[in-house]
Amino acid sequence: MQAFDFAAPTSVSQALGLATTGSAYLAGGTTLVDLMKLDVMGPVHVIDINGLPLAGVTTQSDGLHIGALSRMSDVALDPNVTSQFPVVAQALLASASPQIRNMASIGGNLLQRTRCDYFRDTTTPCNKRQPGSGCPAQTGVNRTHAILGTSTSCAATHASDLAVALVAMGASVRLQGQSGQRTVALDGFYQLPGTTPNVENVLQPGELIIDVVLPPLPWATTSSYLKIRDRQSYEFALTSVALAVELTGATITDARVAVGGVATTPLRLPAVEAALRGRPATTATYQAAATNAATGAKPLSQNGFKVTLVQRAIVRALVELVGA
Amino acid sequence: MADGLSRRHFFGRAAAVSAGLAVGVPTATPDLAAAAGPPGTIPVSFTVNGTGRTLQLDPRVTLLDALRERLNLTGTKKGCDRGQCGACTVHVDGRRVLSCLTLAAATQGRAVTTVEGLASNGTLTPVQQAFVDNDGMQCGFCTSGQVMSATALITEGRGSTADEIREWMSGNICRCGCYTNIVAAIQQAQGA
């Protein structure tokens, strides 16, 4: 691990004032400390933000606010989250392990780095870690990689379950920088890799995530998160589905669908939502809608199964949530 | 904040990892920038198993290494050292966490409990006794992490079924494969 100096500010303004070239904010540390040990990240200044007053879930006029330093385990059990947004609680409990959920913050979860083995291995090229060095996943070991939103520079998936649920719910993040505060829809927060996979989101240097805002969505009480993985627990998604459905009688009047594990960003699927809207809640409807899930997919040598898997996962999630 | 990175600085800091240990009452929120100590080190005060400790640490030192190498509390094990196996599980302020992914400097003012802090006056806790009674181990390397996680699981009120125990113990890997006996041990401890 590279040497760094350490500071523990107690206010947002102090933290922002300390941020400079080569600095990194430390919250739960489950990504940062891991990647510093692997020499994938090497900040020379570590700013411990755990003393900042950014934890807690509060109900405000524009929706439910989840403080960026709230821990995954606390948010997963928060009564407002579990009652109003079951999909968010389920996505959190499907993530990582109890120990990691006690440590990891909500802001850090959204900013976690990909699990692509080439990114994590400094002996191999990786355009995300070292721009211009190449992407061995294009022809190498790519079974867990993305089929959507990829480029010839990068096919790494975004690893967060929470982000998939939040994108489905139309959540936004409030960002605080030296020059002020701004609100960004999470759907537009993440950036496709294109030719610059090292740029993963619109966060500016030194900017902090203050909180996540979940706008009211009354029918999100009928929502769920389905995660398909190689082992039952403590594993990243091969594919996942965040789902909410508004039912009027036996008709789907509105729906939210986002998927994880198959794309380079958490991916909302408007075409699938549109194909569900106004249709009877039947397996035939689900299957027809799901055919829109992988439009434009570019499978690599080992991950073609995800094209089928993501469609079947959407159908299964709908059957389990709404019934056939 | 301080300086950039240089080769000389790096070795200076690396050497400082082995600097001295002070045992005493935690100091009140020290001013890190003004703290005395070997160059590149910072004072970290926290409670370990009920006793206040102050260490002068390179900020790179993890809680796991501080416990094992500086405080000689070797009950907490270093398995993967990457947050993937759970052997290093300890409690910080009563919550189970991975000490390998926790910087010791970030535990300033917090209360740490390790496996050495469970038994009192030689009497094992119900969880520890249940692991013995049910043979919940083979090589034993993962056991202290399993015990710390199982202790937390019971406090959290989790594990009403065997499947739920498996889910809420999934952060602790046992490569000997003693899972059946570990689940049995936890079920015994839940009834204790």
**pLDDT tens digits, residue range B120-158?**
999 999 999 999 999 999 999 999 999 999 999 999 999
Give the span between the Cα atoms of A74 and A93, in whole angstroms.
10
Structure confidence by residue, pLDDT tens digits, B18-40: 333 333 333 344 444 445 678 89
Q: What is the CATH number of the domain that holds A5?
A: 3.30.43.10
Cα-Cα-Cα-Cα torsion B128, B122, B88, A78, nearest 10 degrees, comes to: 60
Q: Do domains B7-112 and B126-190 have the same CATH topology?
A: no
Cross-chain Cβ contact A99/B97 below 8 Å: yes
**C-alpha to C-alpha distance for A317 and A297, rounded to whole angstroms:** 21
Where do the domains of chain B lie?
7-112, 126-190
Collect all residues of chain A within an 8 Å Cβ-Cβ radius of residue B33.
7
User: Is A41 an interface residue toward B (CB < 8 Å)?
Assistant: no
Check: CB of residue A213 under 8 Å from CB of residue A222. no
Q: What type of residue sits at position B117?
A: G
Considering only the beta carbons, identify the residue of B42, B97, B101 that sits closest to A34: B101
Q: How many residues comprise chain B? A: 192
Beta carbons of A23 and A46 less than 8 angstroms apart: yes
> What is the tens place of the pLDDT at every residue in A246-264?
999 999 999 999 999 999 9
Give yes or no for A10 touching B (CB within 8 A).
no
Nearest to B13 among A3, A38, A45 (CB): A3
Which residue segment(s) compose the domain that A264 sits in?
Answer: 221-322
Mean pLDDT of A233-256: 98
CATH number at residue A313: 3.30.390.50
- pLDDT over 80 at A177, yes or no: yes
pTM, whole model, 2 decimals? 0.93
A72 falls within a domain: no
CA distance A71 to A92: 10
Report the C-alpha gap between A90 and A179 in whole angstroms: 36
Cβ neighbours of B42 in A, within 8 Å: 6
CB B1 within 8 A of CB A7: yes
Q: Give the DSSP H or E segment for A153.
A: none
| CATH match for B126-190 among 1.10.150.120, 3.30.700.30, 1.10.10.10, 3.40.190.10 | 1.10.150.120
Cα separation, B121 vs A182, in Å, equals 56
Q: Which residues contact B151 (CB under 8 A, 6 or more apart)?
A: B91, B96, B118, B125, B127
pLDDT of residue B36: 65
- Inter-chain contact B102–A22, Cβ cutoff 8 Å? no
With an 8 Å Cβ cutoff, is A50 touching chain B?
A: yes
**Looking at CA atoms only, how far is residue B168 from chain A in angstroms?**
6
Nearest-by-Cβ selection for B82 from A1, A7, A34: A34
- List B98's β-bridge partners, or say none: B89
3-state secondary structure of B11: helix
A2, A73, A96 member nearest B5 (Cβ): A2
Out of A3, A7, A46, the one facing B5 most closely (by C-beta) is A3
A55 shares contact with chain B (CB less than 8 Å):
no
Exposure b/e, A239-266, CB count within 10 A at least 16 = b: bbbbbbbbbeeeebeebbbbbbbbbbbb
Q: How many folded domains does chain A comprise?
A: 2
Share of chain B above pLDDT 90, in %: 79
Task: Tell me how many residue pairs between chain A and chain B have CB atoms under 8 A apart.
Answer: 105
Residue range A135-150, pLDDT digits in tens: 999 999 999 999 999 9
Are residues B170 and A103, on separate chains, in Cβ contact within 8 Å? no
pLDDT computed for residue A324 by the predictor? 83
Any CB–CB contact under 8 A between B19 and chain A?
no
- Residue in A145, A150, A140 with CA at minimum distance from that of residue A116: A145
| B97 shares contact with chain A (CB less than 8 Å) | yes
Report which residue type is found at A311. Q
In a domain, A85, yes or no: no
Rounded distance between C-alpha atoms, residue A93 and residue A101, angstroms: 8
> Distance, in angstroms, between B25 CA and closest chain A CA?
21
List the alpha helices (DSSP H) in chain B: 7-16, 63-65, 126-133, 143-156, 162-168, 179-190
CA distance A241 to A73: 20
The C-alpha angle with vertex B121 and arms to B115 and B124, in degrees rounded to 5, equals 50
Q: Is the dihedral of CA B107, B109, B111, B115 positive or negative?
A: positive
Classify residue B102 as exposed, middle or buried by CB count within 10 Å of its CB (0-12, 13-18, 19+). buried
Provide the mean pLDDT of chain B. Answer: 87
Confidence check: pLDDT of A279 > 50: yes
In this complex, is the C-beta atom of A21 within 8 Å of any C-beta atom belonging to chain B? Answer: no
From chain A, the residues in CB contact with B158 under 8 A are 98
Chain B residues within 8 A of A7 when measuring between CB atoms: 1, 32-33
Name the class of domain B7-112. Answer: alpha beta
